[in-house]
């Protein structure tokens, strides 16, 4: 029994093989993590942890910030293209936005494993619960920007709370 989807996804009924062999979809699906049968957003956030760990090794807020900003900006295009290819807006397997949101969450806190774990939990809570204005943005803003914006904002909320806790 696999934890990954083995069925066609989206209204355009793409196969997992088509998703992992298309560079845009491979990125949008968080290097394949978005193909998880259950909780693809959680698996997408998990996929962000190695990227976060690589970035904190640079020990430069400037490098971290520039890469995070690039992940967000490129993500608007990646997520928009993925939604178009799938024929479905904000399909659950599109998790590039979770990767960006987790990087935003961790931006201003020093590295500790406790901070990583708490940041992960806080981001997932804000991303799932979507308190105002996150839920409003999720419903009102469409396309790649809409897919990205609610998760980036969830990352801002989670990161702010994490900053005060740490």
- Domain coordinates of the chain in residue numbers? 16-165
CA–CA gap between residue 126 and residue 115 (Å, rounded): 16
Q: pLDDT digit string (tens) for 104-151? A: 999 999 999 999 999 999 999 999 999 999 999 989 999 999 999 999
Phi/psi for 49 (5° steps) reads: -60, -50
Residue 64 to residues 25, 56, 71, 100, 112: CA-CA distances in angstroms?
Answer: 24, 7, 11, 12, 16
Residue 38 to residues 61, 67, 112: CA-CA distances in angstroms?
Answer: 34, 29, 28
Strand partners, 14: 9
Question: pTM value?
Answer: 0.94
Whether 106 contacts 52, CB under 8 Å: yes
Q: State the pLDDT at residue 7.
A: 80
Q: pLDDT digit string (tens) for 26-83? A: 999 999 999 999 999 999 999 999 999 999 998 899 999 999 999 999 999 999 999 9
């Amino acid at each position: 029994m696999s934890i990954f989807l083995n069925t066609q996804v989206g209204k355009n009924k793409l196969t997992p093989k088509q998703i992992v062999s298309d560079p845009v979809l491979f990125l949008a699906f968080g290097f394949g993590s978005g193909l998880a049968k259950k909780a693809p957003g959680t698996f997408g956030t998990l996929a962000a942890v190695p990227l976060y760990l690589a970035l904190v090794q640079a020990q430069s807020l400037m490098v971290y910030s520039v890469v995070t900003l690039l992940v967000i900006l490129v993500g608007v295009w990646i997520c928009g293209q993925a939604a178009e290819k799938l024929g479905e807006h904000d399909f659950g397997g599109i998790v590039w936005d979770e990767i960006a949101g987790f990087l935003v969450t961790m931006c201003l806190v020093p590295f500790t494993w406790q901070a990583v774990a708490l940041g992960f939990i806080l981001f997932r809570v804000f991303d799932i619960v979507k308190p105002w204005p996150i839920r409003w943005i999720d419903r009102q803003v469409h396309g790649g920007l809409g897919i990205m914006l609610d998760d980036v904002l969830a990352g801002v909320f989670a990161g702010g709370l994490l900053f005060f806790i740490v």
